């Protein structure tokens, strides 16, 4: 705000200007008044014009607003969006599958495992298994290694390991349990008497005796050689349990010939005995005897009784090539001592057929390789070295091998079910001489 006025004193006239509450007093010399007055007057007029244009009618103060336009140099940056193709060097990551060539099974670096049950004394088993592995290598060109567990408990575990690489040689009783545990696939069984099976017979008094059917065995006395024998003892125990036949007592002998002689001589109060059965060879060997179809004593159709031939065979009506029968059941082993045994005894019934052990392959073994091993194994029976390996009497006492089916072991499963044999009981039975 600017205000003006004048005041006087005795000697001079003074003017004052007020601006923004700050008073500026400018003194004029009396002698210069006439010179500067018109200038001051002109300034006051201009100031009044300015104040009249800016001062509000109801305000005591006037505010002067001056709009100033300045020229400012400004640097402008314009943001532009554009698609620009920029060459970029790319590194492509490519995964190339690397397939390792597997070591072929049956090679030096990966031999086929031959697992042997402890069927005989350890030293004999080691020697026979070495010979058998050598025969297989010679026949097939493949490589094998032997595994010979010391106990049946260990054997049952080892047999189920490395199934793609394993061939297992075992007793008949062991197979069903191992097949259930690890799906071992039986392929071969042994040949004895040129048969892939064995059986047993129940012998009773031939004429006038009190026993003519199985039911008559109830409350009887049984004579046998080995309580743990699969075919001659365990099978009939299972059969008697299934038929609800109660055996009063069992007399165990040290051998089957001893039991047969005791029965023939009446040395014990035996009502029946069980012993191994091998079917006869029929005249001229024109056909084989058929299990379940032919009478076990088919030779009785002729009037002659068995006798010892000059060659050591027991025959009826001469040699086979002459039209006679070759008798092979267990009675033929004691004919020289119990000369009337074929006259005084008769076969009441036979056991089921039992395979002679088992040769089984792991379920994961390639079929083609299993066939190669099987062909080699089959050929050993005709090799001159077989008596020292596969055919050794202190190993399996086989003459060779023959194909066999899983169903052939159903009679063994019947025994296991009827006698409630768990794995521990099976192992104990095997350890005790089955």
Q: Record the tokens describing residue 388, joined without a space.
A: 């020292």
φ, ψ at 93 (rounded to 5°) = -95, 115
372 versus 4: which is more confidently predicted?
A: 372
The residue length of the chain stands at: 434
Q: What is the pLDDT of residue 41?
A: 57
Whether 100 shows a pLDDT value over 80: the answer reads no
Whether 120 shows a pLDDT value over 70: the answer reads yes
Banded pLDDT at 78 (limits 50, 70, 90):
low
Q: Record the tokens describing residue 222, joined without a space.
A: 């049984």
Are 112-194+356-431 and 201-278+342-354 in the same CATH fold?
Answer: yes
**3-class DSSP string for 338-382:** CCCHHHHEEEEEECCCEECCEEEECCCCCHHHHHHHHHHHHHHCC
Estimate the crossing angle of helix 423-431 against helix 174-182, to 10 degrees. Answer: 140
Domain positions in the chain are 2-54, 112-194+356-431, 201-278+342-354, 282-328
Q: Record the tokens describing residue 396, joined without a space.
A: 């399996």
As a whole number, mean pLDDT of residues 254-269 equals 93
Beta sheet of 2-8, edge-to-edge order: 2-8, 13-19, 22-26
Q: What is the pLDDT of residue 267?
A: 82
As a whole number, mean pLDDT of residues 64-88 equals 52
Cα 24 from Cα 32, distance rounded (Å): 19
Select from 432, 424, 409, 413 the least CA-distant residue to 186: 409
Cα 261 from Cα 201, distance rounded (Å): 15
Q: What is the pLDDT of residue 163?
A: 85
pTM over the 0.85 mark: no
Cα–Cα distance list, 300 to 16, 295, 352 (Å): 173, 9, 22
Superfamily of domain 201-278+342-354: Periplasmic binding protein-like II (3.40.190.10)
The CATH classification of domain 112-194+356-431, taken from the options 3.40.190.10, 3.30.365.10, 1.20.1740.10, 3.30.70.100: 3.40.190.10
Q: What is the pLDDT of residue 62?
A: 43
pLDDT digits (tens, 9 = 90+) for 199-237: 999 999 998 889 999 999 999 999 999 999 999 999 999
pLDDT digits (tens, 9 = 90+) for 291-338: 999 999 999 999 899 999 999 999 999 999 999 999 999 999 999 999
CA dihedral 415, 420, 426, 427 (to 10 degrees): -170
pLDDT digits (tens, 9 = 90+) for 42-64: 566 555 544 544 444 444 344 44
């Amino acid at each position: 705000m600017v205000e003006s006025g004048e005041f006087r004193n005795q000697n001079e006239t003074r003017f004052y200007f007020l601006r923004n509450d700050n008073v500026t007093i400018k003194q004029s010399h009396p002698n210069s008044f006439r010179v500067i007055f018109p200038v001051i007057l002109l300034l006051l007029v201009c100031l009044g014009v300015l104040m009249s244009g800016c001062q509000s009618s109801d305000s005591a103060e006037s505010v002067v607003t001056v709009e100033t336009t300045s020229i400012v140099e400004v640097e402008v940056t314009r943001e532009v969006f554009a698609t620009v193709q920029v060459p970029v060097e790319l590194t492509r990551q490519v995964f190339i599958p690397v397939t390792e060539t597997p070591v072929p099974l049956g090679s030096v670096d990966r031999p086929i495992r031959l697992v042997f049950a402890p069927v005989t004394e350890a030293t004999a088993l080691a020697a026979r298994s070495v010979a058998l592995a050598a025969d297989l290598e010679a026949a097939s060109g493949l490589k094998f290694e032997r595994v010979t567990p010391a106990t049946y408990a260990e054997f049952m575990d080892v047999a189920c390991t490395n199934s793609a690489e394993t061939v297992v040689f075992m007793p008949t009783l062991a197979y069903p349990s191992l097949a259930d545990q690890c799906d071992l696939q039986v392929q071969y069984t042994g040949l004895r008497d040129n048969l892939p099976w064995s059986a047993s017979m129940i012998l009773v008094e031939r004429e006038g005796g009190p026993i003519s059917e199985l039911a008559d065995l109830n409350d009887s006395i049984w004579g046998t050689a080995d309580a743990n024998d699969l075919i001659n003892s365990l099978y009939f125990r299972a059969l008697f349990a299934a038929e609800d036949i109660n055996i009063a007592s069992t007399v165990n002998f040290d051998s089957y010939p001893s039991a047969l002689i005791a029965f023939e001589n009446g040395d014990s109060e035996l009502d029946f005995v069980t012993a191994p059965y091998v079917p006869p060879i029929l005249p001229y060997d024109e056909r084989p005897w058929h299990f379940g179809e032919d009478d076990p004593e088919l030779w009785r159709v002729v009037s002659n009784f068995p006798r010892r031939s000059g060659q050591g065979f027991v025959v009826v009506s001469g040699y086979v090539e002459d039209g006679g029968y070759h008798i092979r059941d267990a009675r033929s082993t004691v004919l020289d001592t119990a000369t009337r045994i074929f006259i005084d005894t008769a076969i009441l019934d036979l056991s089921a057929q039992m395979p002679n052990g088992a040769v089984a392959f792991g379920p994961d073994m390639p079929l083609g390789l299993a066939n190669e091993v099987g062909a080699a194994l089959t050929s050993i029976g005709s090799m001159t070295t077989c008596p020292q390996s596969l055919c050794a009497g202190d190993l399996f006492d086989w003459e060779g091998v023959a194909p066999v089916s899983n169903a052939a072991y159903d009679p063994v499963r019947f025994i296991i079910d009827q006698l409630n044999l768990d794995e521990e009981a099976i192992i104990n039975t095997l350890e005790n001489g089955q």
